[in-house]
Structure 1
Amino acid sequence: MIRIKALTMVAAIAAFIAVPTLALAQDAKHSFKMATGWPGGPLMDIGAKAFAERVDQMSDGRIKIQVFPGGTLGNALKVTETVKNGVAEMGHTWMGYDWGRDTTTVLFGGYAGSFDSERMLHWLYQAGGVDLQRQYRDEVFGVVSMPLFIRTAEVFLHSRKPVRTLEDMKGLKLRTAGSWLDMAKDLGAAPVTTAGGDVFPMLERGAIDATEWGTLWEDIAPGFHKVAKYLIIPGVHQPVAPFDLVINKDAWAKLSDKDKKLIETAARLTTFDSWLRIGEEDAKALDVYRKAGNEVIELAPEVQYRTREIADAWADKQAETNPWFAKVLASQRDFERRWANATQYRNVKVRATATQ
């Protein structure tokens, strides 16, 4: 009897030890390549690479993601296509680069009619935006998609010419992307698009008069201010810019439910971290430009008001013929109406001080 009890105890201990061993054996290892649209800078460092590092940490090294600079695995403006075709299992892009195929992309990537970054985060994570994004990218582009990285309002322009009024916009050769290519024309500008790595040399040699790219802090790294004296704010063309993690559907299907949740959580944490970091660094950045000898110009109200009018009219036109655009736009405008009076209960008036 004693021997039977001993054997039973040994078997129980062995079974107890085997359970976590079996669980570990079921947690598969994965190695993915990630294509990006960026040569470097914050989008790479606190976006794509930060996400890869977080996934590695959260998976105890089981899931490895090798991040490649823009253009290494394919066209930097066509990361979605690179991922869909399986050249890379993952990609980090701005969805608005795909606007030529479907203009709905700019509603998720931000355009001149978008709300600010705080509201965009609430819409994405609390009001159904993430689910709409997943459904849309799957149905129209055949990839798995979720937010990864988000900007606050961008710099309107780094310009070789002063730009303040609607008259100053006429004939201005500027680099941009997404729906602003169309809208800038309505302001009288002459817009073109190009990958991020080509912007500086084009601006330096005068092939373009001005460019938009990122926020105050993000634009320090590419050095546009070194070849363009004028810094034009605020970024009415892009009040917010969420970026996009795209995943090949076959690669996604190989992940367990647990690992899919891990990827989603890592992307969400990276997105919030990027927002916090950019907000803090933007607050310091104007001094950098002023010390470098740049002149900071605030756009005239006429330009800011006219931009929003153009954006709303453009969105209404897209919604007339594009069911997905209409669906997402309706969701965003419903959200915007709910938040219409938010400043009354969220913003507290204070007297200006010397430090302000």
Structure 2
Amino acid sequence: MKSLKKILSTTLIATAVMSASVNISAAEKDWRMATPWSGGPWLERDAQNFADHVKAMSNGDFDIKVFPGGTLGSAFKVTETVKSGVAQVSHNYINYDYGVDPTAALLAGHSSGLTPEEFMLWMYQGGGIELYEQFRLEKSKVVAFPCSILGTEIFLHSNKKVQTFEDFQGLRLRTSGAWAEIASRLGASTVVMAGSEIYSALERGVIDAAEWGSPELNKPTGFQEVAKYVMVPGVHQSGGVLECQVNKRVWDKLTDQEQNMLRNAAKLSVFDSWLASSYADLAAYEELKNGKNEIVKLDPSFITKVLEETVAWEDENAAKNTWFSKVLTSQRQFKAEMTNWSEYRLTIGESEL
């Protein structure tokens, strides 16, 4: 009888331990996702798509709850929120950490850089994603990889017509990151302000112009209502990516299969975002063309000036920053490989007889 009691007792203890382990494991896979986004496609579509893909690909083992910007911490310090463990994962823009290291601009997308399609090719075929992960891990102590693609932006919503280099001189421009530096070097008077302040600043004449996002993202801001001119193309931000970050301690507890699942969910989310945003931009830009705004195309000589100043800025940073040099070299080599692309591929949206 004593032996039986001992066996039953041992069995109950083992069962309790196993049950506790299962509950802990399940709890560890109920993740909080921090974001900088208060709403819109990046929150409601892109971030949620990643969460949905992870849940589906893990057969429901992982459940990610997406939180708007400012809910789990500062909207502009999402990396710190993930690194501290307040959130296990994020949907973020690496350029918000531009002040930590300017290499972020190359990985986020910058003036006269890679187009959305080139970014995807460079990331998944040209070694970009390996550099991205290594940089984020070394500099920010988080595991990060692209999980959304950014389309080419509108160059300016402006109350002043800007077409040439001369028109750009003294322009009171709202911008941020690397473009704030490069635009200043090109003669603009740059101002950094939160997105929520731009409409009022344009309306009251505090600034002449602002850059924000692609046609789809700019549409709900109402900038077109308070600024007459719309300048294209967006050479200041020709393409880019958003990222998903995972807390390093959480990541290290995952199996190789789970880690690969997260990377694949991110890759699928990049493709989804490219399809959705590219198509949505078509309708949003058509609405601009048919509205009251004047569409202004930048003079080719001004675009050349932007490219030249960007190259000078790149070379200066590469000379003093090892990581910047490493990423820049990779991107320039990739762009060199792309030079014959136009010889055998038709431009998207155009055809030739």
Once residues 312 and 69 of structure 1 are traced to their aligned partners in structure 2, the CA distance between those partners, rounded to angstroms, is 36
Instruction: Indicate the SS of the match to 2:216.
Output: coil
Deviation, structure 1 residue 183: 0.3
Matches within 5 A, 1:195-344: 195-344=194-343
Which position in structure 2 is the counterpart of 1:81?
80
Which position in structure 1 is the counterpart of 2:36?
37
Once residues 303 and 144 of structure 2 are traced to their aligned partners in structure 1, the CA distance between those partners, rounded to angstroms, is 32
Gaps of 5+ in 1: 1-24
Once residues 313 and 96 of structure 1 are traced to their aligned partners in structure 2, the CA distance between those partners, rounded to angstroms, is 20
Which amino acid in structure 1 is aligned with residue 299 of structure 2?
A
Per mean C-alpha deviation after superposition, the further-off stretch among 120-129 and 37-46 is 37-46
Once residues 304 and 320 of structure 1 are traced to their aligned partners in structure 2, the CA distance between those partners, rounded to angstroms, is 25
Once residues 295 and 212 of structure 2 are traced to their aligned partners in structure 1, the CA distance between those partners, rounded to angstroms, is 16
Gaps of 5+ in 2: 1-21
Once residues 170 and 73 of structure 2 are traced to their aligned partners in structure 1, the CA distance between those partners, rounded to angstroms, is 33
Which amino acid in structure 2 is aligned with residue 108 of structure 1?
L
Which position in structure 2 is the counterpart of 1:148?
147
Once residues 344 and 67 of structure 1 are traced to their aligned partners in structure 2, the CA distance between those partners, rounded to angstroms, is 44
- Is the Cα contact below 8 Å between 1:39 and 1:197 reproduced in 2? no
CA 1:87–1:199 in 2, change beyond 3 Å: closer, same or farther? farther
Which position in structure 2 is the counterpart of 1:345?
344
Give me the TM-score of the superposition, normalised by structure 2: 0.88
Once residues 206 and 52 of structure 2 are traced to their aligned partners in structure 1, the CA distance between those partners, rounded to angstroms, is 38
1:157 lines up with 2:156 in the alignment: yes
Q: How many residues get paired?
A: 329
CA 1:208–1:91 in 2, change beyond 3 Å: closer, same or farther? farther
Deviation, structure 1 residue 59: 2.1
Deviation, structure 1 residue 119: 1.3
Once residues 210 and 162 of structure 1 are traced to their aligned partners in structure 2, the CA distance between those partners, rounded to angstroms, is 9
Once residues 79 and 86 of structure 2 are traced to their aligned partners in structure 1, the CA distance between those partners, rounded to angstroms, is 10
Once residues 198 and 266 of structure 1 are traced to their aligned partners in structure 2, the CA distance between those partners, rounded to angstroms, is 34
CA 1:351–1:324 in 2, change beyond 3 Å: closer, same or farther? closer
Once residues 205 and 72 of structure 1 are traced to their aligned partners in structure 2, the CA distance between those partners, rounded to angstroms, is 30
Deviation, structure 1 residue 263: 1.2
Which position in structure 1 is the counterpart of 2:165?
166
Which position in structure 1 is the counterpart of 2:14?
none
Matches within 5 A, 1:11-22: none
Once residues 212 and 81 of structure 1 are traced to their aligned partners in structure 2, the CA distance between those partners, rounded to angstroms, is 26
- Percent sequence identity is 42
Deviation, structure 1 residue 28: 4.2
Instruction: Indicate the SS of the match to 2:219.
Output: coil
Which amino acid in structure 1 is aligned with residue 333 of structure 2?
D
Instruction: Indicate the SS of the match to 2:181.
Output: helix
Deviation, structure 1 residue 284: 2.1
CA 1:319–1:40 in 2, change beyond 3 Å: closer, same or farther? same
Per mean C-alpha deviation after superposition, the further-off stretch among 169-178 and 311-320 is 169-178
- Is the Cα contact below 8 Å between 2:46 and 2:269 reproduced in 1? yes
CA 1:196–1:89 in 2, change beyond 3 Å: closer, same or farther? farther
Which position in structure 2 is the counterpart of 1:108?
107
Once residues 81 and 114 of structure 2 are traced to their aligned partners in structure 1, the CA distance between those partners, rounded to angstroms, is 30
Once residues 157 and 144 of structure 1 are traced to their aligned partners in structure 2, the CA distance between those partners, rounded to angstroms, is 34
- CA offset digits 1:8-60 (Å, max 9, x no partner): xxxxxxxxxxxxxxxxx799431111111211111112211111122122223
Instruction: Indicate the SS of the match to 1:204.
Output: helix
Deviation, structure 1 residue 189: 0.9
Instruction: Indicate the SS of the match to 2:220.
Output: coil
1:54 lines up with 2:58 in the alignment: no
CA 1:254–1:205 in 2, change beyond 3 Å: closer, same or farther? farther
Which position in structure 2 is the counterpart of 1:63?
62
Give me the TM-score of the superposition, normalised by structure 1: 0.87
Per mean C-alpha deviation after superposition, the further-off stretch among 82-91 and 269-278 is 82-91
